[in-house]
Structure 1
Amino acid sequence: MRSNLALFSIFLLSFLSVSSFAQSTRNTKVEIKGNQFLINDQPTYPGRVWKGNKIEGLLMNSRMVQGIFDDLNPETIKNWEYPDTQTWNPDRNTQEFVGQMPIWKSFGLLSFTINLQGGSPFGYSQNQPWINSAFTEKGELREAYFNRLEKILDKADELGMVPIVGLFYFGQDEVLQDEQAVIHAVENAIDWILKKGYQNVLIEVNNECNVRYDHEILQPERVHELIELVKKRRWKGRRLLVSTSYGGGTVPKENVIQSADFILLHGNGVKDPNNITAQVEATRRVEGYTDQPIVYNEDDHFEFDQELNNFTAATAAYASWGFFDYRMKDEGFEAGYQSVPVDWGINSERKKGFFELLKEITGY
């Protein structure tokens, strides 16, 4: 009869073999060279030019932050009931998300932002009584959330897509009890992604660091400390590329510009597309900027049928652009990618407008 030690050794070797196999079979790797994104050693949208504007090297994206959403508050969960079943189902939400990913990719969408604490399921909101966090109060990982995340990251790796994984969202960061819990959460999440072997993931430390965060380390003056923490976490010599974002129209501060691998901007509140150009130009003038790629990963301005809109303005300034859509007053279930429950299909006029222009710009 084998000893317990021998049995444990066999189990450990089997686990390591499976882990090594999973990592060796990853399909997609993202890199940055100069101001361009590369996927599997090739610039994105290779050779593509649209209306005289270089598209090669950009990373067009959409805000899809609710892909692993759940609500741990029994008092508010009724808000997210599906219209057909009158119940909320987090696994259905993720399954339907994954089912749409190949369709998004077919239009030229190479990236999407997903957040471990989601976003406002109403689009915008002051109070957030719901509890949607992949972290416990001490910064440990909630297994159910990461199981759902794994399904999405696996599919993205299969499809050649580059998810931007956000760690924290204002209104939910107070779930974590103190600064040490925030640090612990960052370490745990980054280590989980690295040890799963993903090489296609970008990190956004927090969504809009200058908006209502409780913990000082998540606020503009100190958020670079967490950017540096992410950069120091390594597995088999690899690390993850990382940044953070600010509220709409804001130009990032020097500490973030100097630490971030790429620069995240938001276009919320920027009604004049010419001000998108001005925001990009101002960002490039910040001290310490070294030609990192500039990416809008949230903008709720549309007018996709107009020659000049925020999407085309960002593109002309050689900045990647990200679609932010939520269900507005009196709109149906098909509208909005941030409002829960989510219809992840391309079934509203706004969604169709974005994806049609995306396809035209990227040449897919």
Structure 2
Amino acid sequence: MKKTVMSIQGDRFLLNGKLTYSENADCPHQGLLMNARFIQGIFDDAADRERYNRFGKHFDPEENTDELIAALPDWYAAGLRAFTVGLQGGGPCFTIALDTIQNNPYGSDGKALDPAYLNRLARLIDAADELGMVVIVSLFYGVQTALLQDDDAVENAVKGICGWLRARGDRNIIIEIANEHDTGAYLCHKVLSEENGIIRLMELARRESGGMPVGCSGTGGYFSARIAQASDVILIHGNEQTRNQLYNLILKAKAVEPARPIVVNEDSQALSQLQVTFANGVSWGYYNNMTKQEPPVDWGITQGEDRFYALRLREYLYGEKPDLPLEDQFHLQGLEKDMAYEDKRFLRLASLYPEQVDHVDFFRDGALYQQAYDDPFCVNFIGNWIQEPVVGIKSGEQWRAVVHLCDGRVVEKTVIVP
């Protein structure tokens, strides 16, 4: 017997007939579905599994799923009510070339569903059902679709996985046809790269799943009115978007009638985006490339960005303002033991309230190395979800982040590389 039944009422979500977060009668954000991108929850790589034995850990696909399941209660307690997991996973964008990965449970003709993937996905869905969480099941991911031989194979895969979900009787599922279908990686399949094809696949998924809600995302800032109109849940991404650009994207989604839920199911670790989405009644998806997308993943609420996201959720949803001294509201990360890969490290200054930061100065062994002005405050910033590495960092080096707040206060965080 399934324990969690998700339903939609206008632009709001209900779980078991009650608006989400209604356990807090004073919550002004009832009906939202705060989420995170846990896209690698059932990940494997037939090309070379051994290369993921890194970061001081051993990678095993079954253990990876089990560790995510073990972490879900803490995320639920923080206020998370949904997460996105991908049948074809996502990209360890910082470290491993995407076109070298083989993470495809469908077979080349789309008919051969891999039982190991299905078992891992079933365990995840069951764990979410037990807790009262929704799983956004993403069917296709960019470069992995090249492993499907043609458009017929894509349609076979949709029929197969959606039929499997229907047979299970799950009631806590949102189906995402493709992650960012407008990227060039999908051009090998007309049905995945064009609006008409996506709309046809959404109709197919809805029918084969027995009516589960369906949507499809595009890259940060992308919006298709036709795909949104055909969606049960409008899925948008906030990558590369300033707060104003994200607001403009939300306005486009809100113009779709009749109203339906709008879910950002991928953005970044830029917590200032929460101001925009909460103010406009939109659900936000935390996306941390480093801590939550580089296998083997640490699925727990790690120090720094993960923890600050969890604290901000409790503040917005339950009115629990974090009781942290100012110096503890910042965390210099990326210098932890075993976090180097091929002599590369990815440094960020995590902030509980990035809206209050003017800029950050990074010092390497006492010399100014770089400055950061946008949230998240990364060394070698490219966009709010991605950065270039720092190479050649040695044990014993001192890194210092000097945080200049908008009110004139200054906070310093110093790390000696282990």
> What is the CA distance between 1:301 and its match in structure 2?
4.2
Is 2:155 aligned against 1:179?
Answer: no
For 1:247-295, what per-residue CA distance to the aligned partner results, in whole angstroms no more than 9, with x for missing partners? 00112x132122100101100001x212222210122235xx3201100
> What is the CA distance between 1:47 and its match in structure 2?
7.1
Corresponding residue for residue 206 of structure 2: 231
Q: Which of 240, 245, 260 pairs up with 1:275? A: 245
Aligned partner letter, 2:143: G
Q: 2: CA distance between counterparts of 1:298 and 1:203?
A: 15
Q: Secondary structure at the match of 2:100?
A: coil
Corresponding residue for residue 38 of structure 1: 14
* Matched-pair contact (CA < 8 Å) for 1:245–1:266: yes
CA change 1:182–1:91 in 2 (3 A) is: same
Q: 2: CA distance between counterparts of 1:188 and 1:205?
A: 13
* Matched-pair contact (CA < 8 Å) for 2:137–2:176: yes
Runs of 4+ in 1 over 6 A off after TM superposition: none
Corresponding residue for residue 43 of structure 2: 69
Within 5 Å, which residues of 2 pair with 1:259-270? 259-270=230-241
CA change 1:276–1:83 in 2 (3 A) is: closer
Aligned partner letter, 1:291: A
Is 2:137 aligned against 1:137?
Answer: no
Please, which moves more after superposition, 118-127 or 318-327? 118-127
> What is the CA distance between 1:126 and its match in structure 2?
6.4
TM-score normalised per structure 1: 0.83
Q: Which of 318, 330, 344 pairs up with 2:281? A: 318
Q: 1: CA distance between counterparts of 2:144 and 2:76?
A: 30
Q: 2: CA distance between counterparts of 1:321 and 1:228?
A: 25
Aligned partner letter, 2:150: D
Greater strand share, structure number: 2
Q: Which of 20, 27, 32 pairs up with 1:58? A: 32
Corresponding residue for residue 111 of structure 1: 82
TM-score normalised per structure 2: 0.72
Aligned partner letter, 2:250: V
> What is the CA distance between 1:135 and its match in structure 2?
1.3
> What is the CA distance between 1:62 and its match in structure 2?
0.1
> What is the CA distance between 1:82 and its match in structure 2?
4.2
* Matched-pair contact (CA < 8 Å) for 2:91–2:98: no
* Matched-pair contact (CA < 8 Å) for 1:45–1:57: yes
Q: Which of 127, 150, 153 pairs up with 1:155? A: 127
Unaligned 5+ residue runs, structure 1?
Answer: 1-24, 328-335
Is 2:259 aligned against 1:291?
Answer: yes
> What is the CA distance between 1:310 and its match in structure 2?
0.7
How many residues get paired?
315
Q: Secondary structure at the match of 2:220?
A: coil
